[in-house]
Copies of this chain bind each other. A is one copy, B any other.
């Protein structure tokens, strides 16, 4: 009879490794164990937690479902299989438009070079403005869907994000004329890490002849306050993806509005604000790229040389 040997890949992870790999903080891992009874890692000789591969996998599924809106307490005691079904079951089974489907197919096949070439080709054919407002916006949506349906992995999304960044930044640099007005400072608040949304806005801005001072993601409010006069901008624009709650986004806009002089406008846009009704006093909500183009036009009329 065979010995029931321990599987060679029965790897054990300490709490720091699990935090690193799942993005769940040590505090969260410990409080889940206390409250819900999962995960219950074994302990080493010094009573420190050692998590199994299986637990790590379940934690990743949980993280995914929680990001999508499930509550931890409701799902934490289901099995890995049930959780995977839950993820699979939410696909709305629509189909993407054919141009988009072709791009998605390249990502499914892990064809990095093919994807880059196809995106470049779409950019050339459509021009920057249409590429951003049609192709990239739609593609983002369907990639989100594919991810939820379990059709693509996290690393595929990472690859897509990198490639889109390469292409958008390339297009931004290559934009022929440098715009002059208005000068727009573009960034996001701490907690908002979505870079592609910012780059899309930057692309539309330069395509429309504005001048963009891009600070990337997660600039603390105080630093924005100091940067705006230093770079002599006319407008500060913030992007909030749906990772932000609507209230947090509105509060951030209002806080910034209070800190900046009246001569500088404050604009906000992105998924978190798409359904917001009322902007904080003195700020402007942009619910679409068309809104932004209109806002640029309005600014120019109001500040026309007399």
A contact residues vs B (CB 8 Å cutoff): 9, 11, 16-17, 20-23, 56-57, 60, 110, 112-113, 116, 120, 153-155, 158-159, 161-162, 165-167, 169-170, 172-174, 178, 187, 189-191, 211, 213-216, 219-224, 226-227, 230-232, 248, 251-252, 255, 258-259
Contact = CB atoms under 8 A, between A and B. Distances in A.
Contact of A22 (B214, B220, B227): B220
Contacts of A219: 154-155, 158
Contacts of A221: 17, 20-21
Nearest to A222: B11
Q: Please classify the interface of chain A as helix (H, G, I), strand (E, B), loop, or mixed, using the class held by over half of its residues.
A: helix
A252 B19 CA distance: 13
Contact of A213 (B17, B112, B153): B112
Nearest to A221: B21
B231 A162 contact: no
B112 A231 contact: yes
Contact of A20 (B154, B173, B190, B230): B190
A23 B221 CA distance: 12
Contacts of A155: 215, 219, 223-224, 226-227, 230
Contacts of A222: 9, 11, 21, 56-57, 60
B162 A215 contact: yes
Given A170-B170, A178-B113, A223-B153, A159 B20 contact: no
Nearest to A232: B110
A230 B167 contact: no
Contacts of A214: 159, 162
9 closest Cβ pairs, A-B complex: A155-B227, A158-B215, A21-B220, A169-B169, A166-B169, A170-B173, A20-B190, A170-B170, A162-B214
Contacts of A56: 222
